[in-house]
Amino acid sequence: MSKQPRFLPVTMKEAEALGINQFDVILITGDAYVDHPSFGAAVIGRVLWDAGYSVGIIAQPDWKSVADLKKLGKPRLFFGVTSGNVDSLVNNYTANLKIRSDDVYSPGGKGGLRPNRAAIVYSDKIHSVFPDTPIVLGGIEASLRRFAHYDYRSDSVRRSILADAPADMLVFGMGESQVVKIASRLSKGENIRDITDIAGTVIKTEISKWRLMGHVGYVELPSFTDVSQDKILYAKAFNLHYQEQDPVRGRPVAQVHPKTVIIQNKPAMPFCAEELDHVYELPYARMAHPSYNKPIPALAPVKFSIVSHRGCFASCSFCALTHHQGRIIQSRSIGSMVREVQRMAKMQDFKGIVQDVGGPTANMYSMHCDLWDRRGACADKICTHPLCKNLDTSHQKQVQLLRRLREIPGVNKVFIGSGIRYDLVLADPSGYLSELCEFHVSGQLKVAPEHISGLVTDMMHKPSRVVFDEFRKKFASENRRLGKEQYLIPYFMSGHPGCTIEDMVELAEYIRDNNLYTEQVQDFTPTPMTASTCMYYTGIDPFTMKEVHVAKGREKRIQRALLRYKDDRNYGLVHEGLKMVGREELIGIGRKCLIKFANH
């Protein structure tokens, strides 16, 4: 294979200029094609090309016909299908299930360029035209819908996406090692149906064959039929597969569906620093493909950012990272990131600002637990709830990284744009907070307490109010010492399972008393394969099997309104909520009142 092109081909004209008559792999994505390491299709395409396979990209095809899906012809090995960087339903609908008018992953931010359940729709169309060509699903939508799952839009339990789509295999997690192995084995002449043992993949087989295989070494979940009819079994099934999402100790997981059996192999092993460095040092253009005449809004906030690590050991209940990137932190070397920023600094439109150095949680870079190497992440505890003494929480290596990046010629500022875990900052002995405030806050620092009620933060697996208060005081003190005026941007959430109207009133009062009112709030949205979604659907905590209060309908709207009590449009709902819980003293003209009397 020739050296990597400036952009992966999106037309046969571009392919022919590279001497390609037939692609080895064609990737279909619901996003516009942006050649940047923050965009999944670009990463997978670059990794495959680096391994010696030619790759074409069909971005945002018109799903109402097959013309776009035929334009690059038939690939020699397989079609790779992804809905894009975001689940298509999350991308297309708000938390209130209203259709979004925009899409930051599309040219000019235009909405409506990808279908609902994009991975299924694209697969159906491809299979109708190329019925004998293997189809491999990947990306966040496929990854998090790999088992029977609650679907918020239809308010029902849906089958595994691999059972619904005419695809042959599903890649879960980040996927680089898996796709190269799939391409290699197909290239050697193996039939895709015989490739059943690659870690980080899901396959399907006939029920009769599954019964003949025996169940030794497998964890068998309650069937789709069972979990779709029994919420207790749904909760039990969630806990069963949750416990196996570890690359070291995880076992294969199977779930019977009406016409097939879905089998998940154990997760792929984490990348070492050298492997991760290689992925992110491939020659990304860090630009949208030149065929677009309008900008892709999602590129702007990340164009000059770098990924320092993968994984998150916090296991927040409302986050699916445990099922996607995993709990084991995979960190890049400092030298690799220095080289990446040096290349960025030579770009014509680089203005001297590195927008972000981070990952799912920016300050988990280089953190490690010795137990991970021997037995994986603990099955019986969460690393941060409470903070485990076996965890190395030193930020010293991240401080060293940030100092090296600041010294690069042409770099004026290096910011932390990703969120940080403030409980880890408080547990750090290296002086990270001082360094952060002095050099790496752009005036506002994102943190995500999500709530302050003890019952709710416990349900979320988030730090307590006491921890957040301590961090706020230290952040304010450090900025006073430095003579800087910098602010925390806290993210709060309404409607999370376990949260009541009383809890939301408590949060509203806390926001009022500490001058933390912000427009950046969110209403809990059930998304596939999170513990919180399981609680929302079943009313059961899957880890304790105890009942959980779940706000739905009008109560959920009242909870959201209480987060934005200053918005006049929410007056009626806030008034109703305060009366429901006997807090009428918060209605009036006093300093402590959340809303005024109706005639004021």
By C-alpha distance, which of 437, 563, 438 is closest to 503? 563
How much is the average pLDDT of 570-592? 95
For 304-440, give the CATH class.
alpha beta
Flag whether pLDDT at 487 surpasses 60. Answer: yes
- Whole-number pLDDT of residue 96: 86
pLDDT level of residue 193 (50, 70, 90 thresholds): very high
Residues 331, 276: contact at Cβ < 8 Å? yes
pLDDT in tens, 452-465: 999 999 999 999 99
Locate 545 and state its tokens: 């099997």
Flag whether pLDDT at 565 surpasses 80. Answer: yes
Flag whether pLDDT at 520 surpasses 70. Answer: yes
Classified by CATH at the fold level, domain 12-201 comes out as Rossmann fold (3.40.50)
Equal CATH topology for 12-201 and 443-464+475-600:
no
Flag whether pLDDT at 60 surpasses 60. Answer: yes
Domain 443-464+475-600 in CATH 3.30.420.40? The answer is no
pLDDT level of residue 95 (50, 70, 90 thresholds): confident
pLDDT level of residue 184 (50, 70, 90 thresholds): very high
Tell me the three state secondary structure of residue 555.
Answer: helix
385 vs 18: which has the higher pLDDT: 18
Amino acid at 217: G
- Whole-number pLDDT of residue 211: 74
Sign of CA dihedral 527, 388, 251, 249: positive
How much is the average pLDDT of 43-47? 98
pLDDT level of residue 214 (50, 70, 90 thresholds): low
Residues 354, 299: Cα–Cα separation, whole Å = 14
By C-alpha distance, which of 503, 268, 309 is closest to 398? 309
- Whole-number pLDDT of residue 525: 94
- Whole-number pLDDT of residue 216: 73
pLDDT in tens, 4-15: 999 999 999 999
By C-alpha distance, which of 49, 45, 77 is closest to 59? 45
Flag whether pLDDT at 600 surpasses 70. Answer: no
- Whole-number pLDDT of residue 430: 79
Tell me the three state secondary structure of residue 210.
Answer: helix
- Whole-number pLDDT of residue 598: 75
446 vs 172: which has the higher pLDDT: 172
Residues 77, 209: contact at Cβ < 8 Å? no
pLDDT level of residue 599 (50, 70, 90 thresholds): low
- Whole-number pLDDT of residue 140: 96
The secondary structure of residue 307, as a DSSP letter, is E
How much is the average pLDDT of 431-448? 93
- H-run or E-run covering 142: helix 139-144
- Whole-number pLDDT of residue 333: 98
- Whole-number pLDDT of residue 381: 85
pLDDT level of residue 145 (50, 70, 90 thresholds): very high
Flag whether pLDDT at 87 surpasses 70. Answer: yes
Percent of the chain with pLDDT over 70: 99
Which residue's entry shows tokens 């359940």? 117
* 223-240 residues labelled b (16+ CB within 10 A) or e (exposed): bbebbbeebebbbbbbbb
pLDDT level of residue 1 (50, 70, 90 thresholds): low
Q: What are phi and psi of 291, to 5 degrees?
A: -75, -15
pTM: 0.95
**Domain coordinates in residue numbering, the chain:** 12-201, 304-440, 443-464+475-600
96 vs 240: which has the higher pLDDT: 240
Mean pLDDT of the chain: 95
Considering only CA atoms, give the Rg of the chain. Answer: 24
Residues 311, 308: Cα–Cα separation, whole Å = 11
How much is the average pLDDT of 42-59? 98
How much is the average pLDDT of 311-331? 93
321 vs 57: which has the higher pLDDT: 57
Locate 298 and state its tokens: 């999602």
